[in-house]
Amino acid sequence: MAENAKFFPPALPNDGLMDLVLIDGNIGCRSLLKLFGALEDDTFFDFPAVKYRKILAYRWSPKNQSSGYLSVDGESVPFEPFQAEIHKGLGTVIMNNCQIAGAPPPL
């Protein structure tokens, strides 16, 4: 992943929502390479295999199987039901320009 790739251009640091990106798991290797190449020219979200939603929470439960591999943000997590939700205001985001997300701009 390139440092300057804008993977979530519509994301706002203090909107109280998660940005969920779903990619069809049956996508072919050639299409997948094109998909990740599209990050450079901001056409990633134009692919039909990509679904993007702003959400408050989600719950994931495996269906019809007892084992498998699951990763969240590239980290392996136990293959069991789990839930994630937003608790707006419990954290602070400091950006590269040293501004705090949601704070008024400096004078």
Nearest to 35 by CA among 50, 20, 18: 50
In the chain, where are the structural domains located?
Answer: 18-85
What residues does 52 pair with on adjacent strands? 21
Give the mean pLDDT of 88-102.
Answer: 65
Query: How far apart are the C-alpha atoms of 82 and 7, rounded to whole Å?
Result: 25
User: What integer pLDDT is reported at residue 81 of this predicted model?
Assistant: 92
pLDDT at 99 over 70: no
Give the SS3 label for residue 71. Answer: strand
Cβ neighbours around 34 below 10 Å, total? 14
End-to-end CA distance of the chain: 35
